[in-house]
Amino acid sequence: MKYTIAFSGPAWSGVNTAWLIVWDYFSKLWYDVIWDKEYQSIIKWGNNIFMNYISSDWKFLSSNIDLFFAYDKLGITRNEKVYNLKNIVEIEKTDMVNMVSVAMFFTMIWKNIEEINQIVKDYFWNKKIPQVIQERNQKALEKWVELAKDLEKINLDIENLWKKEFIDGNYTVAEGAVDASLSFYSAYPMTPASTLIKYITKHKNVEFFQWEDEIAVAMSMLGAKFAGKRSMCWTSGGGFALMSETISMANQMEIWWVYIMSQRWGPSTWTPTFTEQGDLLYALNASFWDTKPIVVYPSNIQNAYDLTQKVLNWSDYYQHPIIILLDKQFSESYFSTDLKRNLESKDKKLDNIKFNPENKEVFEWIQNIENDKFLRYKLTEDGISPYTYPWLENGDFIATSYEHTESWSVTEDPEEKVEMTEKRHKKLETFKKNEFNENFRGFTVINENAKKFFVTMWINRVVLEEYVKQNSDYWIIVIEVLQPLDDELQNFIEGREVEKLIFVELNYSGQLETYITWKLWLNCGKWKWKISRIRKYNNYPLFLEDLSKL
């Protein structure tokens, strides 16, 4: 069973609540549900549309909407340009219009008033809403259940199965970070990253600071990391532009950070509440000079939770800046999942990496003293130097943005410059050697027996997986660690008979294609004619129908 229901209206109409009630109900029935929202940046009016993609088989995204509740004419005229609105139910202006649409929908799936009242109460049970609003909800439900009796009924398979969690992408990353002992978070609100503040601040063991701008956010995170806090910050492209100089600084000082960039449409402010995948090349080269942050791009909800924990550990161990790249579609879409059943996926190395007085010997600072100076930047075979925190006796050092010696003294000596440059770059080679193995790869392959490949990132995977289920000639490569690239990816592609590589991404210039074809030498010779592309850049996510011309 697959079914799409959408609610559309102005921001003030409570359209979001109607959508959430339906989502919550079907998530509790163990359905695979994706909740997607598209909304204008106009605060009061404009048009918002909220979709529930409900399936008993697998998650899907489609431009076909089976049932469309329109709270005004704009909801129809704006959205019919993007979606195929199969069955439109227009609701005239009325009190509690969102409850009206809820009552009508549940009546259409054979629910009586008692059942509908209970569904709404279950949704609101732990939310503090005034008694007068509850009474108005009740009256609206009763009135419109009666009026909806003549509407065409919908036959959906309703089974009371095990309850799934109802979470969005930002929540997933926040929970992954907190479960990996995040202790400091700084941010300045910016769509679509803003909800992280709400999710993280509910955890009282995480110190949070909201600063006056993104420069202060990034610098405070570096300061917290220097002082021994496991730290992270989050923003979107415009805020990241202000933060990016600190990547170069962090690389030179080897005081690492975890930065999360949730992409939205650009350039500049442009359409800030819509999705894109246009900051990939920016993230890979997000600094001046020859600095390369580690960049990851989670491919689904569980992967986002697990990868966030790995990233926090990697940043500590390799002492290197890391960017988690997301997009608006991931950050603000909701997914039914059993994420919390898998808490044991937490990286077992955590307790050996996180600093505390009980495991301070891990940092080995006592063995690295020369001429009464701690060798903070000691040259090592793997490029990883010993580290301390400020309060440890004899472990003092200056974290300088100048070039420095092993004992952190400023230097401009050419030989020492070469040694330190090679040391910093060597850490990425050490990362590849340590992390990419049979237990963890930087990419995921789906349906290995085909000869035509989709190459893609994050939520595009949902649409491509559905397409592959229907078209066995194709398989999918989802790249999750973009920098450094897993060498096995090239071995994997070259070791198979490939008819076509199709790069699927949400940007105009083909940034994923540009990067991968360059890194793997696929832009010339025998490979050049095998490469094709699907690029979408109209504000909206990838739909199954976008693949119809293949």
pLDDT > 90? residue 122: no
HEC states along 479-521?
ECEEECCCCHHHHHHHCCCCCEEEEEECCCCCHHHHHHHHHCC
Residue-wise pLDDT for 97-106, tens only, equals 888 898 888 8
User: In which residue ranges of the chain is CATH 3.40.50.920 found?
Assistant: 443-547
pLDDT > 50? residue 87: yes
Q: What is the pLDDT of residue 339?
A: 66
User: In which residue ranges of the chain is CATH 3.40.50.970 found?
Assistant: 166-341
The correct answer on CATH 3.40.50.970 for the domain covering 166-341 is yes
Report the relative pairing of strands 531-535 and 500-505 from DSSP bridges. Answer: parallel
Q: What is the pLDDT of residue 479?
A: 96
Bridge partners, residue 481, by sequence: 296
Residue-wise pLDDT for 453-501, tens only, equals 999 987 899 999 999 988 889 999 999 999 999 999 999 998 888 899 9
pLDDT > 50? residue 361: yes
Q: What is the pLDDT of residue 496?
A: 85
> What average pLDDT does the structure give for the chain?
86
CATH C-level class of 2-163: alpha beta
The pLDDT of 222-248, averaged and rounded, is 90
pLDDT > 80? residue 292: yes
Tell the residue number behind the tokens 């044991």, with chain if given. 344
pLDDT > 80? residue 390: no
The pLDDT of 61-90, averaged and rounded, is 94
Residue-wise pLDDT for 169-178, tens only, equals 999 999 999 9
Taking the C-alpha atoms of residue 50 and residue 14, their distance in angstroms, rounded to an integer, is 11
**Where would I find the H helices in 64-184?**
73-79, 97-108, 113-124, 131-147, 169-179
Q: What percent of the chain has pLDDT above 90?
A: 51
Q: What is the pLDDT of residue 406?
A: 94
Cα 193–chain centre separation: 9
Taking the C-alpha atoms of residue 315 and residue 428, their distance in angstroms, rounded to an integer, is 12
- CA distances (Å), 263 to each of 240, 397, 529, 545, in order? 10, 37, 31, 23
Tell the residue number behind the tokens 């791009």, with chain if given. 297
The pLDDT of 541-548, averaged and rounded, is 94
User: In which residue ranges of the chain is CATH 3.40.920.10 found?
Assistant: 2-163
The pLDDT of 510-533, averaged and rounded, is 90
Q: Which position has the higher pLDDT, 20 or 447? A: 20
Mapped onto helix, strand or coil, the DSSP state of residue 412 is coil
Q: What is the pLDDT of residue 138?
A: 77
**Half-sphere exposure of 107 toward its Cβ, with a 13 Å CA cutoff?**
19
Task: For 256-277, give one letter per residue: b (16+ CB within 10 A) or e.
Answer: bbbbbbbbbbbeeeeebbbbbb
Taking the C-alpha atoms of residue 237 and residue 239, their distance in angstroms, rounded to an integer, is 5
Q: What is the pLDDT of residue 341?
A: 47
Cα 43–chain centre separation: 24
Q: Do 151 and 105 meet the contact criterion of CB atoms below 8 Å apart?
A: no
Question: Considering only 242-256, 262-276, 355-369, 498-512, which range has the smallest mean pLDDT?
Answer: 355-369
CA angle 335/441/333 to nearest 5° reads 15
Q: Which of 102, 96, 131, 94 is nearest to 118 (CA)?
A: 102
Residue-wise pLDDT for 184-199, tens only, equals 999 999 999 999 899 9
Q: What is the pLDDT of residue 367?
A: 63
Residue-wise pLDDT for 17-53, tens only, equals 898 888 888 877 778 888 899 999 887 778 999 999 9
Taking the C-alpha atoms of residue 136 and residue 17, their distance in angstroms, rounded to an integer, is 14
pLDDT > 90? residue 507: yes
The pLDDT of 120-142, averaged and rounded, is 75
How deeply is 447 buried, as exposed, middle or buried, from its count of CB atoms within 10 A (0-12, 13-18, 19+)?
middle
159 pLDDT tier (thresholds 50, 70, 90): low
The pLDDT of 211-218, averaged and rounded, is 93
pTM given for the model: 0.91
332 pLDDT tier (thresholds 50, 70, 90): very high
The pLDDT of 63-70, averaged and rounded, is 95
pLDDT > 90? residue 351: no
Q: Which position has the higher pLDDT, 510 or 35? A: 510
Q: Which of 222, 398, 255, 426 is nearest to 406 (CA)?
A: 398
**Two tokens, residue 184:** 């400091």
The architecture CATH gives domain 443-547: 3-Layer(aba) Sandwich (3.40)
Q: What is the pLDDT of residue 357?
A: 45
Q: What percent of the chain has pLDDT above 70?
A: 91
Taking the C-alpha atoms of residue 382 and residue 241, their distance in angstroms, rounded to an integer, is 31
Taking the C-alpha atoms of residue 220 and residue 236, their distance in angstroms, rounded to an integer, is 18
Q: Do 321 and 250 meet the contact criterion of CB atoms below 8 Å apart?
A: yes
